[in-house]
Amino acid sequence: MNRISVNVDGTTYEDEVEPRLLLVHYLRDRLGLTGTQNGCDTGNCGACTVDLDGASVKSCSVLAVQADGGEVTTLQGLARDGEWHPLQRSFHERHALQCGYCTPGMIMAARDLLRDNPDPSPQEVRNSLRGNLCRCTGYQNIVEAVLAAAAARESVPAPAAGGERT
């Protein structure tokens, strides 16, 4: 067993974990944060995508011990004081989700994209989401939602210090 300390969505947790415990199962089974899904076990579908220390990772391919001392953001930590993240809003407004299973990972991956490239082209959005599979939507509305979130972000002033990092 290894002792780890991880900050998830603003709360710090300390736990004894098996070395083989995957981050996705640590979040889900130990912390009860079931908003992050496990879809394929092999890093292909992206449903388990979370942010670890400023980069998006597939939490089915990261050990919990690797997150020791780190900061994890999941879908459940995106809204601030009841205010939705622009991607949450645009996914709703563009009908970019159906069953919702891929959505947490899709939004976390899109957030990562917009951090690197705040003004992506439609094809850049499609290429960057290659590692996130959706079986319901055919992706079109997801692409539109990401583009809409990018546009909305450009049109509002940058958040004050202490706001969301993106």
Partner 1 sequence: MSAFGTRVNRVEDQRLLTSGGVYVDDLRVPGLRGAAYVTFVRSPVAHAVITRIDTSRARAHPRVVAVYTAADLTGLPAPRPFGRPAHSGGFFAEPLLAGEKVRFVGEPVAVVLTEARYDGQDAADLVDVEYRRLPAVVGPAQALHDGTLLFEEAGSNLADQRDRDTYDDTVFDGADVVVEREIVNQRVACVPMEGRATAAVFDGTRLTVWHSSQNAQRCRSTLAESLGIPAEAIRVIVPDVGGGFGAKIGIDRDAIVVAWAAWRSGTAVRWAESRAENLVAMTQGRAQLNRVRIGGRRDGTITAYRLDVVQDAGAYPRTSTLAPVTCTMAPGVYDIPQVQTGYRVVVTNGTPVNKYRGAGRPEATAAIERAVDLFAAEIGMDPAEVRRRNVIAADAFPFRTGTGALYDSGEYGAALDRLLGAAAYPRLRAEQAARRDKGCVNALGIGISVYVEMTGGGGETARVTVDGRGHATVLTGSSTQGQGHGTAWSMLVEAELGIPVDRITVVHGDTDLIPKAVGTYSSRSLQLGGSAVHQAAADVRNQARWHAAGLLAVRESDVTLDVASGTWHVAGDPGRSLTWDQVVGHTGAGSIRADAEFASERPTFPFGAHLSVVEVDTETGMVTVLRHMTVDDAGPVLNPVLAEGQRHGGIAQGIAQVLFEEVRYDADGNPLHATLADYGAVAAADLPDFELEAGETPTDVNPLGVKGIGEAGTIGSIPAVQNAVIDAVAHLGVRHIDMPMTPDRVWAAIGEAGTERRSRR
| 36 near partner 1 (CB under 8 A) | yes
| 120 near partner 1 (CB under 8 A) | no
Residues 71, 33, 158, 140: is their CA dihedral positive or negative?
Answer: positive
| 103 near partner 1 (CB under 8 A) | yes
> Which residues are 55's β-sheet partners?
52
| 119 near partner 1 (CB under 8 A) | no
Q: What's the length of the chain?
A: 166
Least distance from partner 1 to the Cβ atom of residue 11, Å = 15
**Dihedral (C-alpha) 30, 80, 49, 113: value to the nearest 10 degrees?**
-160
| 117 near partner 1 (CB under 8 A) | no
| 91 near partner 1 (CB under 8 A) | yes
| 140 near partner 1 (CB under 8 A) | yes
- Do 149 and 114 contact (CB within 8 A), yes or no? yes
> Which residues are 6's β-sheet partners?
13
Judged by beta carbon, residue 69 or residue 122, the one nearer partner 1 is 122
| 11 near partner 1 (CB under 8 A) | no
Question: To which residue do tokens 């002033």 refer?
Answer: 157
Distance in angstroms (rounded) separating the CA atoms of residues 24 and 15: 15
| 136 near partner 1 (CB under 8 A) | yes
| 80 near partner 1 (CB under 8 A) | no
Q: What is the number of other CB atoms lying within 10 angstroms of the CB of residue 75? A: 24
The amino acid at 135:
R
Which residue ranges make up the site for partner 1 (CB under 8 A)?
Answer: 18, 20-21, 25, 28-29, 32, 34-42, 44-45, 47, 75-76, 78-79, 84, 88, 91-93, 95, 97-104, 107, 122-123, 125-127, 129-143
